[in-house]
Structure 1
Amino acid sequence: MLKSLSICLVSFLLLFVLALISVFLGFYFISQELTVFMEWEVLALHSSGIVMTFLFDWMSLIFMGFVMFISSLVIFYSREYMGADVNINRFILLVLMFVLSMMFLIISPNLISILLGWDGLGLVSYLLVIYYQNVKSYNAGMLTALSNRIGDVALLLAIAWMLNFGSWSYIYYLEASRDSVEMKIIGVLIVLAAMTKSAQIPFSSWLPAAMAAPTPVSALVHSSTLVTAGVYLLIRFNVLLAGNWLGEFLLLFAGLTMFMAGMGANFEFDLKKIIALSTLSQLGLMMSILAMGFPVLAFFHLLTHALFKALLFMCAGAIIHNMSDSQDIRFMGGLVNQMPLTAACFNLSNLALCGMPFLAGFYSKDLILEIVSLNYINSMSFILYFFSTGLTVCYSLRLVYFSMSGDFNSMTLHPLSDEGWTMLRGMLGLMVMAVLGGSMLGWILFPTPALICLPIYLKMLAVIVSILGGWAGYELAKFALSYKLNALTWYFSSSFVGSMWFMPFISTYGVSKTPLQAGVLAVKSFDQGWSENCGAQGMYSLFITWSRYNQGWQNNDLKTYLIGFFFWIVVLLILAFL
């Protein structure tokens, strides 16, 4: 126990100090407009050398600082949340490996070292998803790993195409070669890789399934590491998206993801899955504004979202911990009376998610929606943006109504309290940043205030859709029988919207039933059938038979020899007469 405590504390202190250094260095770099390339010659053999390049600019340093800050508080929080776990040291080491893989991804201007971090994230995320060893976790881990493998293959193909440029350091070639055919192919592959890692349609089903991991892992994965890796990679490759069909394609699919996740969250009753779908919705928002050509704005929302989403997951973890591992929001209620501090943090992070003025989410979301209103954009994407914003407020208010208000709906004697001070300290550290982080980042990333002049109805549109969404969420959350009966009347529509447009079924049954079964038949009939019969196994059995005959003759077994001799004479005579 003491050993695990020391590993937790050392990891927390180390990451926290490194986070502070990294963030302040990032602020210094942005003020001085500095970029540093660091090259490390790993191996020099005659005229060949293996050189690893690291890119330190304001973006990589600030993002690294945020990842390390959130992971330090998550590790601190895990001391209590995972305290009863026998293998807590293994858990902490896995989280540290996860953070290290993300660091590699962030500071690499080279596709090979990016693949190192990218695959590290995929592998460690699989190990963390199957951490609670049961069938559901194994299935979720497999779905996560195999969905991400598609992106890994796309990245490998992009590495192969980068050979056309003489080096894998893409950062040197993006501007100069953006119109070449090779770079366009690389752009398509990078977009495919980013869509799998950031769970855009049609690869969305793995993200809610990954909720099988422990809650501290969810807080880390869904805020600043695994799912944001795709967005960060596209921010680096943003030159390839501007003003072409690739950007329009990404804008459409990101908008649909945002809408699909917002609708699905309104039908969900699992606390962690609601928050996971909210992450999916925000990823769609980041991807879509990035596709419109605003990488710094997408990065700004990525950072503010990381702060309040990590806090939201931590609060959810504290609630689940106190509810004896129950995640169904229908069994909650009145938690604001039982767990006031946790409820305060939970509601604050929910308000930040909805874009409440002067909290972290407001500064990025409001700016994104005003930029969308100001730019030339087709009406479908415009409707998806604002409708999805209303849906965010809708499911957030529904969640608060179910969990915080009314009477407690679980067992009568229940140990609900705010006594877990270790978890609370971790949450309170993030709560400060969820309040102040947006404004501070806004002042630093956009030192010149943006003056966006719009007609009054467009200026007020974000507020109007938020109020309408909140009202719809309150109405949806009422315990009225008519709502349930209407949902049953429109059963197909309800199940379609509530199950992420049947994507989990298509990703599992759709893949396993038809293509994999066809693969099994092909393997049995070809690889294990004709190929074996005409190939190695057939030759093996033939040679065995021949050697047995030969062995008999070698042993001077006259009977066998004579029988064989007369047999062949009879066969030859019959053939001659025929």
Structure 2
Amino acid sequence: MLWMFSVCSVSFVFLFMLGALFFFWGVSFLMLDTSLFIEWEIVSINSSSIIMTILLDWMSLIFMGFVLFISSMVIYYSKQYMGGDFYINRFVILVLMFVLSMMLLIISPNIISILLGWDGLGLVSYCLVIYYQNFRSYSAGMLTALSNRVGDVCILLAIAWMLNYGSWNYIFYMENLIIKEEMMVISSLIILAAMTKSAQIPFSAWLPAAMAAPTPVSALVHSSTLVTAGVYLLIRFSDVLFITYAGKMLLLLSSLTMFMAGVGANYEYDLKSIIALSTLSQLGLMMMILSMGFSKLAFFHLLTHALFKALLFLCAGAIIHGVGDTQDIRCMGGLVHQMPLTFSCLNTANLTLCGMPFLAGFYSKDLILEMASLSYINFIIFFLLFFSTGLTVCYSFRLSYYLVGLNFNVGTSHSVGDNDNWTMIRGMLGLTLGAIFGGSLLSWLLFPCPMIVVLPLWLKTGALLVSGLGAWVGVMISYSYVGMNNIPGNMTYLYIVMMGSMWFLPYLSTNYCIRFPLFLGGAYSKTIDQGWSEMLGGQGLHNFLVDGSSVMMKMQYNEFKIYIFFSFCLVLFLLLLMLFI
């Protein structure tokens, strides 16, 4: 067990130091406005070279620094959270493979190596989602893997379309590709791939299902690795998002995703599912502002969101670990008296998510809302953006109300406290500092000249008014829903089921998008490949030749009975022929 803990400790120290190195290196690149493009010739055979290309600029280095910092805190947290697991060394190795795949995707300007990191994320995420090896985990793993295969196919098709150019290094052609017709197809495929990985409508069902993974994995997946891969890829391709109608479609679908996730989180009682839907809502916000043309602002929110979302999941894991492995928020009241330090970290992350002034989320979300108000968008997109922002505050305050306002309701005598969770708390405190100071630090680095947005008073204070209204509605809804068991009326029941089930997307994804094609493929294989194709194809030809050769062999035996039989048939045929003639 000591050796297993040493694996966590060594991984934590290595990732933390490497993350700090990459972050300060990225800051220096940002200040100097420089970048490195490295080509490594792996092998050369008869003038054919296999070259690995690496792009190191301020964006990739700072993002890698954040990924490694969050991964180090997650691994340090797992030292206690997964301490009872006999195979914790396997768990740490899987997490390290996950981080390595994400780093390969980040530093790749080549669409081939992007596919390697992309598929590495999908494969290792499947292994981590089914880690607990039960029916729910297997189902969630299959839904995750099959949903992401759509994006893999899109990347493969984009690779095939880029055969029209001299290289797969898309970074070389980005300025010239805008005027090419092929780039319309390539950009549409990249947008579709990013939508699958970042779980936009209609591929949203796999994200809450992936909560079957251990909580440290959820913290890593939902903050800086798997779901952010699609956003990061679109940031790299942001110059070509607007030459096709897929960019406008992305704007609509991302805003609907943000709205759908915000509504669904207000009907959810599972702690991890609420935070997962919060991730889905924030991903919709990133895609939305990215499709408006503000790629640097989307990257800014990507980094701040990674800090407080990882903190949210780590706090949720500490609470689940403390209350006896239950995830129902209706059983977790009064935690501020029993787990004050954990709840303080959770409340900090919640307020950061809401955009509380001078916390990390405020600097990115407030700027996003102001820039969107300044942009040329229609009223539907504008309404969905501000209404979904209010829903974010609504479910955040609803969650805080359930964790504080109710009584502790686990049902058994259980000791809950912070005293035995110091390893997990240290991991959470590192991310808490990032959630408090990360937004201001990044805003000073990424936007050295302050962005002053001049708007009318009702638009300038719109974000604050919507947040305050959302907080009040969240507390009122929680107060009225507590203890409510009977839902009057069929229409009300249908409305709540629809809103609480992500607009039936999990049902549609599993029964029609996955189960029906698999059933259709099985029926096709049974009737065509193993049916008519066998009878009329190779197997039928084989049987016909075997039967014919056996008849010929019997004829070649020169038996008298066979000779008499064929002679009689020949005479009979000649007689019939003479009669008819």
Q: Which amino acid aligns with 1:137?
A: S
Choose which of 498, 501, 504 in structure 1 pairs with 2:500: 498
Query: Which consecutive unaligned segments of at least 5 residues does structure 1 have?
Result: none
**Cα drift, residue 547 of structure 1:** 5.9
SS of the counterpart of 1:40? Answer: strand
Corresponding residue of 1:312? 312
Corresponding residue of 1:463? 464
Determine if contact 1:11/1:75 at 8 Å carries over to the other structure.
yes
Corresponding residue of 2:511? 509
Determine if contact 1:345/1:431 at 8 Å carries over to the other structure.
yes
Distance in 2, matches of 1:571 and 1:27, equals 98
Determine if contact 1:9/1:76 at 8 Å carries over to the other structure.
yes
Distance in 1, matches of 2:111 and 2:487, equals 53
Distance in 2, matches of 1:193 and 1:86, equals 37
Q: Which amino acid aligns with 1:240?
A: V
**Cα drift, residue 517 of structure 1:** 3.0
**Cα drift, residue 165 of structure 1:** 1.4
Deviations 1:126-158 (A, max 9, x none): 111111101111111111111101001101111
Distance in 1, matches of 2:127 and 2:515, equals 26
Corresponding residue of 1:401? 401
**Cα drift, residue 51 of structure 1:** 1.1
Distance in 1, matches of 2:65 and 2:489, equals 46
Corresponding residue of 1:421? 422
Deviations 1:369-401 (A, max 9, x none): 011111221111100110000000111111111
Corresponding residue of 1:210? 210
1:168 aligns with 2:168: yes
**Cα drift, residue 415 of structure 1:** 2.2
Distance in 1, matches of 2:263 and 2:576, equals 83
Determine if contact 1:343/1:404 at 8 Å carries over to the other structure.
no
**Cα 1:163–1:16 shift into 2, 3 Å:** same
Q: Which amino acid aligns with 2:333?
A: G
Distance in 2, matches of 1:569 and 1:69, equals 93
Distance in 1, matches of 2:159 and 2:461, equals 46
Corresponding residue of 1:342? 342
**Cα 1:243–1:185 shift into 2, 3 Å:** closer
Corresponding residue of 2:433? 432
Q: Which amino acid aligns with 2:27?
A: F
Distance in 2, matches of 1:234 and 1:67, equals 18
TM norm structure 1: 0.95
**Cα drift, residue 247 of structure 1:** 2.5
Q: Which amino acid aligns with 2:61?
A: L
TM norm structure 2: 0.95
**Cα 1:577–1:451 shift into 2, 3 Å:** same
**Cα drift, residue 114 of structure 1:** 0.5
**Cα drift, residue 492 of structure 1:** 1.4
Corresponding residue of 2:151? 151
Distance in 1, matches of 2:45 and 2:543, equals 50
1:276 aligns with 2:276: yes
Query: Which consecutive unaligned segments of at least 5 residues does structure 2 have?
Result: none
Distance in 1, matches of 2:444 and 2:276, equals 29
1:539 aligns with 2:541: yes
Q: Which amino acid aligns with 1:226?
A: L
**Cα drift, residue 406 of structure 1:** 2.3
Distance in 2, matches of 1:72 and 1:543, equals 67
SS of the counterpart of 2:83? Answer: coil
Q: Which amino acid aligns with 2:220?
A: L
SS of the counterpart of 2:175? Answer: coil
Deviations 1:336-381 (A, max 9, x none): 1111111111111011000011111111000100111112211111
Determine if contact 1:476/1:483 at 8 Å carries over to the other structure.
no
Q: Which amino acid aligns with 1:205?
A: A
SS of the counterpart of 2:408? Answer: coil
**Cα drift, residue 244 of structure 1:** 5.4
Determine if contact 1:211/1:273 at 8 Å carries over to the other structure.
yes
After superposition, residues 232-271 of structure 1 pair within 5 angstroms as: 232-242=232-242, 245-271=245-271
Deviations 1:192-248 (A, max 9, x none): 000000000011001001111110000000000000000000000000124753332
Corresponding residue of 2:63? 63
1:441 aligns with 2:442: yes
Determine if contact 1:336/1:404 at 8 Å carries over to the other structure.
yes
Corresponding residue of 1:2? 2
**Cα drift, residue 96 of structure 1:** 0.4
Deviations 1:75-116 (A, max 9, x none): 111111111111111110010000000001000011001011
Determine if contact 1:29/1:58 at 8 Å carries over to the other structure.
yes
After superposition, residues 24-103 of structure 1 pair within 5 angstroms as: 24-103=24-103
Deviations 1:49-73 (A, max 9, x none): 1111100000000000000000011
Q: Which amino acid aligns with 2:529?
A: D
Distance in 1, matches of 2:328 and 2:201, equals 26
**Cα 1:488–1:410 shift into 2, 3 Å:** farther
**Cα 1:522–1:25 shift into 2, 3 Å:** same
Q: Which amino acid aligns with 1:428?
A: L
> How many residues end up aligned between the 2 structures?
574
Determine if contact 2:196/2:203 at 8 Å carries over to the other structure.
yes
Deviations 1:455-499 (A, max 9, x none): 111111111111111111111112456685258651111111111
SS of the counterpart of 1:533? Answer: helix
Corresponding residue of 1:392? 392
1:367 aligns with 2:374: no
SS of the counterpart of 1:400? Answer: helix
Corresponding residue of 1:301? 301
1:292 aligns with 2:283: no
After superposition, residues 516-555 of structure 1 pair within 5 angstroms as: 516-545=518-547
Distance in 2, matches of 1:370 and 1:303, equals 19
Distance in 2, matches of 1:487 and 1:106, equals 51
1:12 aligns with 2:12: yes
**Cα drift, residue 412 of structure 1:** 3.6
Q: Which amino acid aligns with 2:505?
A: M
Distance in 1, matches of 2:440 and 2:565, equals 98
Q: Which amino acid aligns with 1:9?
A: S
**Cα drift, residue 536 of structure 1:** 2.4
Distance in 2, matches of 1:444 and 1:411, equals 50
Q: Which amino acid aligns with 1:341?
A: L
**Cα 1:148–1:382 shift into 2, 3 Å:** same
**Cα drift, residue 416 of structure 1:** 0.9
SS of the counterpart of 2:36? Answer: strand
Q: Which moved more, 1:424-433 or 1:514-523?
A: 514-523
Distance in 2, matches of 1:389 and 1:277, equals 13
CA RMSD, 1 decimal? 2.0
**Cα 1:566–1:146 shift into 2, 3 Å:** farther
SS of the counterpart of 1:490? Answer: helix
SS of the counterpart of 2:527? Answer: helix
SS of the counterpart of 2:177? Answer: coil
Corresponding residue of 2:139? 139
**Cα 1:382–1:564 shift into 2, 3 Å:** farther
Deviations 1:536-566 (A, max 9, x none): 2223334444566677789x7x9xx566666
SS of the counterpart of 1:377? Answer: coil
**Cα drift, residue 529 of structure 1:** 0.8
Distance in 1, matches of 2:489 and 2:333, equals 23
